[in-house]
Amino acid sequence: MQPFVNNDATLRLVRAVAIGFAILSGAVGALLFLQYAGSDGLSGFDILRATLIVMATSWIGWGAAQGFLGLMQPKPKPRWSTAPIESQTVVIVPVYNEDPRATFARIAAMDMSIAAQGLAEHVDFAILSDTTNPKIALAEREQLAWLLQRRHAAGRIFYRRREDNTGKKAGNIEDFVKRSGAAYDFALILDADSLMDGTTVGEMIRRMQAEPHLGLLQSLPRVVNARSVFGRAMQFSSAMFAPVFTRGLARLQGHAGPFWGHNAMVRMSAFAESCGLPELEGSPPFGGHILSHDYVEAALLARNGWTVRVDPDLNGSFEEGPENIIGFAKRDRRWCQGNLQHSRIIGAPGLRGWNRFTFAQGILSYVAPLLWGLFLVASIIATVTNGGPNYFPDPYMPFPVFPSDRTAQAIGLFAGVVGLLILPKLLIGIASAVGSDARSFGGPVVLIHSIVVEIILTSILAPIMMMFQSRSVFQVLMRADGGWPAADRDDGRLSFKEAWTGSWWITLTGALGLAVTLLLAPELTLWVLPVAGPMLIAPWLITVTSYPSQDLQVFRAPEETETPDIVALYHALRQEPLVFSEVSGDLKAFQPAE
């Protein structure tokens, strides 16, 4: 059967409206700015700043458009099929210097949940290790022995460790697909911190069986097990805002949807024939192996006519997130390099236009914060070089000409940008507070309080995030390879010394920026202070937000109100003692199917 190709005119209209809204947002922002800056005549710096405003505000408008579109979509009701499963699926768990006890406890929990659904004979597990630390590698084999004994699953749960880590995670999966993909119809690709209950796994298999054109089905993972202020704020956002924005994203992407690299199921034959990744010419960061391989694989599937789709109604899909800003910045550095690397791929032949647009979005997501920083720098330079208003534009005029007051335009621009950022969140919160979701977030009062605190917290942290992202962009442009660092999955608490070591340069930059503003353009101080202020106290903010926050009456997420069964099972299994019997013979490396 030929893969289905979408030609939905309504989809094209929705995309055009969303893109038009984003462009209009940028144009209105630039117009307001030009009216404000042009009160004493326009300079070259004014035109430069207006251009930056167009680009940066359009990006914010694009995000807002997804939120508004998601709000217009009805909340999907979970639809669970009871069709018989007649296929074989492998759950792929790539690991790289992870905590073996946590990883294998998650696998045990998922296997128990899958078996409870009667699916054990249809689902195998392949643990694909790229671990380079010998001590962790030994611990992985010890945990494998515990897992095989605990689940009596020899022949269904396989493990192998590569000595050569070519291609990182993507290369690890590609190696498995080449050697063993023919043994399976579908593959559920996870990360080491992923959790998915058996009901969801079964439903994804049934949807793949029912739709032969479906090449990849992405679930929306919810963040769980967060403990710190920063981690729980992310966990709350993933539960409160992410489902709505994902509905908007799904409506825009249609059948050329996303792949986020994990918690997604692929059709093995489609993946094998479509997703072989090239090694880009040249050295990293722009050459070499593709880091952000997931969006590239989604684009390659779509190029071959396969549907790639995200289904926001798939509950029971979970992951863990960074517990502090430093850990987030490390992960984000890799994503930045991978997204900027897509500049080498965006022009590849045969790709769908929407996939090219998606690559451009990913690049702009890291360039946009830099644009706001450049806007502030250009504003300071413009103020210094303009020398103030010219009250006598005509030297022969006997009376001064006073420029008209443009404060209203400046306030309008500021209010518009802030509105695009927070209005979707406020509307999502209001809709949830008056609906049935409020109880799972602690009730309407706690919910609204959490949203207000989240908006304030993210606004304060935004300049710090902007600095980390800007540094990442500069590092990539300077040809610095960030590599693929192992994820930090401990309790995340940082000392002030650790935070200072990771962010002293942000404090220094903030101090220099504020000093230059006070010296050269003091009238801009009130505009610069909301950016420079958080930068000055960045180490303190990073430290405080890494502290545990379970006692705070904010950021209550549904997974905290009622712990999902799969999460509770994982925690129970992680506490089990390691007891071995005659299991040495069950320790078998993964043998690829011929």
Distance CA 517, CA 502 (A): 25
DSSP per-residue string spanning 182-241: GG-SEEEE--TT-EE-HHHHHHHHHHHHH-TTEEEEE--PEE-S--BHHHHHHHHHHHHT
Q: What is the pLDDT of residue 166?
A: 86
Map 210-224 to HEC letters. Answer: HCCCEEEEECCCEEC
121 burial (CB, 10 Å; 0-12 / 13-18 / 19+) is exposed
Nearest Cα residue to 326 out of 176, 548, 538, 122? 538
Whole-angstrom Cα distance, residue 79 to residue 158? 32
**Which residues are CB-neighbours of 399 under 8 A, at least 6 positions away?**
none
Instruction: Give the DSSP H or E segment for 243.
Output: helix 242-253
Residue 436 identity (one-letter amino acid) = S
Taking the CB of residue 221, how many other CB atoms lie within 10 A of it? 25
Residues with Cβ within 8 Å of 186's Cβ and at least 6 positions away in sequence, in order, are 87, 88, 89, 90, 205, 208, 265, 266, 267, 268
Q: Are 507 and 536 in contact (CB under 8 A)?
A: yes
- Phi and psi torsions of 126, nearest 5°: -125, 110
The most distant pair of C-alpha atoms in the chain lies apart, rounded to whole Å, by 103
Q: Is 202 left (phi over 0), alpha (psi -120 to 50) or beta?
A: alpha
Neighbours of 6 (CB within 10 A): 16
Contact indicator for 41, 390 with CB cutoff of 8 Å: yes
Three-state SS at 7: coil
Q: What is the pLDDT of residue 543?
A: 97
Is-contact 127 95, C-beta < 8 A?
yes
Domains of the chain: 89-221+254-321+566-577 (3.90.550.10)
Rg (CA), the chain: 26
Q: Is 19 exposed, middle or buried (0-12, 13-18, 19+ CB in 10 A)?
A: middle
SS (H, E, C) 39-85: HHCCCHHHHHHHHHHHHHHHHHHHHHHHHHHHHHCCCCCCCCCCCCC
Cα–Cα distance list, 209 to 89, 201, 266 (Å) = 11, 12, 11
Q: How far apart are CA 153 and CA 583, in angstroms?
A: 11
Residues of the chain with pLDDT under 70: 1-7, 38-41, 386-410, 482-491, 578-594
Name the token pair of 97.
């210097």
| pTM flag (> 0.75) | yes
Compute, in degrees rounded to 10, the torsion defined by CA atoms 47, 52, 54, 59.
180
* Helix or strand holding residue 400 (H, E): none
Q: Which helix or strand (DSSP H or E) is residue 94 part of?
A: strand 89-95
C-beta separation of 461 from 545 below 8 A: yes
Q: What are 223's two structure tokens?
A: 């963040």
Kindly tell me the sign of the dihedral angle through the C-alpha atoms of 70, 66, 4, 213.
negative
Ordered alpha helix ranges (H), 254-312: 268-274, 293-303
Backbone φ/ψ region at 507: left (φ over 0), alpha (ψ -120 to 50), beta: alpha
CA separation for the pair 261, 315 (Å, rounded)? 18
Token pair belonging to 566: 């799969």
pLDDT at 581: 47
- Contacts (Cβ under 8 Å, ≥6 apart) of 302: 255, 256, 308, 351, 352, 354, 355
- Of 239, 244, 230, 232, residue with least CA distance to 441: 239
Task: Please report the pLDDT score of residue 551 as a whole number.
Answer: 75
